[in-house]
Amino acid sequence: MKVPLNVKNKMFQKPAKDSDKEFKIGRVNQVKLLSFPYIIWMVGFIIIPLLMILYYGLTDRDNNLTFKNIALISDPINRKALLLALELSLISTIICLLLAYPLAMVLRKNHKTSNSFIVLIIILPMWMNFLLRTIAWQNILEKTGIINSILQFFHLPTLNIINTSAAIILGMVYNFLPFMVLPIYNVLVKVDKDVINAARDLGANGRQTFLKIILPLSIPGVVSGITMVFVPSLTTFVISTILGGSKIVLIGNVIEQQFRLGNWNTGSGLSLVLMVFILFSMAILSKYDKESEGSNLW
Partner 1 sequence: MVKKIFERFYIGIILLFLYAPILILIMLSFNKSKSRARWGGFTFHWYKELFQNEDIMNALYTTLIIAFLSALIATIIGTAAAIAMNSMKRTPRTILMAITNIPMLNADIVTGISLMLIFVALRFTLGFTSVLIAHITFNIPYVILSVMPKLKQLNPHTFEAALDLGASPVYAFFKVILPDIFSGVISGFFLAFTMSLDDFVITHFTKGPEINTLSTKIYTEVRKGIKPEMYALSTLLFVTVLLLLIIINRKGAEKKVPLKQN
Q: Is 213 helix (H, G, I), strand (E, B) or coil?
A: helix
Asked if 48 interacts with partner 1 (CB under 8 A), we say yes
Give yes or no for a contact between 50 and 43, defined as CB atoms under 8 angstroms apart: no
- Which one among 111, 164, 282, 288 touches partner 1, defined by CB under 8 A? 282
CB of 180 to partner 1, least distance (A): 11
- Which one among 168, 252, 266, 273 touches partner 1, defined by CB under 8 A? 252
Alpha-carbon gap, residue 266 to 262, rounded angstroms: 9
CA distances from 118 to 103, 230, 254, 273 (A): 11, 20, 34, 34
- Which one among 152, 197, 208, 286 touches partner 1, defined by CB under 8 A? 286
Alpha helices in the chain (DSSP H): 2-12, 36-42, 48-57, 68-71, 76-109, 111-118, 124-126, 130-141, 146-153, 165-190, 193-201, 206-209, 215-235, 238-243, 251-260, 264-288
Asked if 273 interacts with partner 1 (CB under 8 A), we say no
Asked if 267 interacts with partner 1 (CB under 8 A), we say yes
- Which one among 133, 159, 165, 196 touches partner 1, defined by CB under 8 A? 133
Give yes or no for a contact between 82 and 73, defined as CB atoms under 8 angstroms apart: yes
CB of 157 to partner 1, least distance (A): 21
Q: Which is nearer to partner 1, 142 or 216 (CB)?
A: 142
Residue 59 sits at φ, ψ, to 5 deg, of: -130, 165
Site for partner 1 in 163-202 (CB under 8 A): 174, 177-178
Cβ density class 28-60: b for 16+ within 10 Å, e for less: eeeeeeeeeeeeeeeeeeeeeeeeebeebbbbe
Asked if 255 interacts with partner 1 (CB under 8 A), we say yes
Asked if 221 interacts with partner 1 (CB under 8 A), we say no
CB of 218 to partner 1, least distance (A): 18
CB of 280 to partner 1, least distance (A): 11
Q: Which is nearer to partner 1, 86 or 282 (CB)?
A: 282
Query: ∠ at Cα 81 (80, 83), nearest 5°?
Result: 65
Asked if 120 interacts with partner 1 (CB under 8 A), we say yes
Give the residues across from 65 on adjacent strands: 59
Asked if 98 interacts with partner 1 (CB under 8 A), we say no
CB of 204 to partner 1, least distance (A): 19
- Which one among 83, 128, 198, 276 touches partner 1, defined by CB under 8 A? 128
Asked if 82 interacts with partner 1 (CB under 8 A), we say no
